[in-house]
Amino acid sequence: MRRGGFTLIEMLVALLVFGLLAAAGAAVMGSTLTSQAVVKSRVERFADFQRLRATLRADLAQAAPRRTRDTGGTPAGVAFIGGDPWGGAGERLFVVVRRGWENPDQAPRPSLQYVEYRLSDGRLERRVRAALDGTPLGPAQVLIDGVETSQVAFLHRGVWQASWKGQSGVELPRAVRLDLTVEGLGPITQLFLTTGDSR
């Protein structure tokens, strides 16, 4: 006749089943956490890319044919510099003067802004000047990192060119193409229209 309670074998079987369920639960939770971390990382990369694209679009869509002067007062030969037209500045992607620089404090400055994009140690950086002429570049704003390769091209009269320094009195290219290979995103091609009239 059996008395109330569990036998040793029943207890061992129950512990074994509980252990298997706990191990399965831990594995599922670990997999879920890993997937969540991967998804979060990818979402952050896409957010970085979207910020980069929005910034590039805003700068290039408001490009102005305004030449500037460097810190020594020497005037630039062209308003828009693209790629490496004269050699020696291989990291620089392009330089543009853009309109629409917001001025909420009503500071005594124009609404034009000197902007320079460059690739440095796998980081795509944007740098600006405090004033259009005679001031040095400010600190770099990193728009995206993990850039493995980059190539820029400029559209003029239906032809893409690897560099730009003005053509036949035309200060701005019609469009800019930026090809990037970004860690976590792969190869990306972006096209941006400028205010240039070269077709």
Q: What is the pLDDT of residues 142-166, one digit of tens each?
A: 999 999 999 999 999 899 999 998 8
User: How many residues are listed for the chain in this entry?
Assistant: 199
The answer to whether the CB of 42 falls within 8 A of the CB of 184 is yes
DSSP 88-133: S-TTEEEEEEES----TT--SS-S-EEEEEEEETTEEEEEEBSSSS
What pLDDT score was predicted for residue 190?
Answer: 94
Domain architecture of the chain: domains with CATH? 57-193 (3.10.610.10)
Q: CA gyration radius for the chain?
A: 28
Percentage of the chain surpassing pLDDT 70?
90
Structure confidence by residue, pLDDT tens digits, 99-114? 987 777 777 777 889 9
Q: Tokens 């404090």: give the residue.
A: 105
Structure confidence by residue, pLDDT tens digits, 118-148? 999 999 999 999 888 888 999 999 999 999 9
